[in-house]
Structures are given as C-alpha cells and as structure tokens.
C-alpha cells in the first residue's frame, strides 16, 4: 500500500489551531490579510482596506496567553505572533520576514509555524512556563 502524503491546506491548519485556542480559552485575533480577490467588489474592498491601514505581510495570529498571579487569577497577557504555513510548502514573503523582525524588536515572541501542531506546541510552551511560575 502506498503511503499517503497528508498536507492539509493552510486554511484547514488555521481552523484546527483556532479551535484549539477556543478550547483553551486563549484570546486570539486572526488577521484576515489574505489577498485572494477576483470579483470587482472584492477588489474595491481590498483597496479600501489598504487605505484604512492594512499592511502586507502582517502575520496571521495575535495570541494572548493569560499570565496568572500568585492567586491563580489572570493579571495580564503575553502576546505571541504566529504566521501559519502548510506543513509542507508555503513561502514566507519578504514582507512577512520584515514583520517578524518588527515583532522581535518589540520583544514579542513570534514563530512561523508549519501546521497547527507546531503552533499549538509554541503556545503551549508559554502556557507551561506560566503554570510553572516563570516570568517572561
């Protein structure tokens, strides 16, 4: 029997990751910066978004890991930035690389993740550090 090479679409990886974040009650924002526009109305909307400040290369996810105080209550949040790619393939654009440098310069942990599993592992590391009482 031939081995099936499973490589979900980036959209499917994003949905899996988003579902996990919801289960964990982790605040998240997906930055809808995709540019697959074909209809006239979509092109008009895209032009308007650019005028409103939409930037090429901004990463897919703004994730906020809750930081708990000694009483176990959420005191603040650690922001993480994630750019999602398929498990295999997917090109990191020059604009995405530039935004990665901005996040790093701002002290925001960030990672280009190849699939939902890698993104979950990245976020889980910060959750575990918080549970162990580490300070970022």
pTM of the model as a whole: 0.82
What are residue 130's phi and psi, to 5 degrees? -65, -45
Report residue 134's pLDDT band, with 50, 70 and 90 as the boundaries: very low
Asked whether residue 1 is domain-assigned, the answer is no
Round to whole Å and give the CA distance between 116 and 45: 29
Asked whether residue 75 is domain-assigned, the answer is yes
Token code pair at residue 116: 């939902």
Residue 73 contacts by C-beta under 8 Å, 6 or more apart in sequence? none
pLDDT digits (tens, 9 = 90+) for 21-76: 999 999 999 988 765 566 777 777 778 878 888 788 999 999 999 988 888 888 89
Token code pair at residue 85: 């790619």
Q: Give the count of domains, the chain.
A: 1
Q: Which domain holds residue 65?
A: 10-131
Any idea what the CATH number is for the domain that residue 16 is in?
Answer: 3.40.1350.10
Round to whole Å and give the CA distance between 136 and 134: 6
Asked whether residue 17 is domain-assigned, the answer is yes
């Amino acid at each position: 029997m031939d081995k099936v090479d499973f490589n979900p679409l980036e959209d499917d990886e994003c949905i899996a990751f988003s579902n996990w974040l919801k289960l964990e009650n982790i605040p998240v924002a997906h930055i809808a910066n995709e540019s697959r526009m074909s209809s006239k109305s979509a092109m008009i909307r895209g032009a308007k978004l650019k005028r409103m400040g939409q930037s090429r290369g901004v990463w897919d996810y703004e994730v906020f890991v809750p930081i708990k105080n000694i009483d176990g209550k959420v005191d603040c949040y650690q922001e993480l930035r994630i750019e999602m790619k398929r498990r295999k393939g997917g090109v990191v654009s020059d604009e995405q690389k530039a935004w990665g440098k901005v996040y790093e310069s701002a002290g925001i942990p960030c990672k280009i993740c190849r699939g939902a599993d890698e993104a979950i592992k990245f976020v889980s590391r910060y959750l575990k550090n918080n549970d162990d009482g580490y300070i970022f």
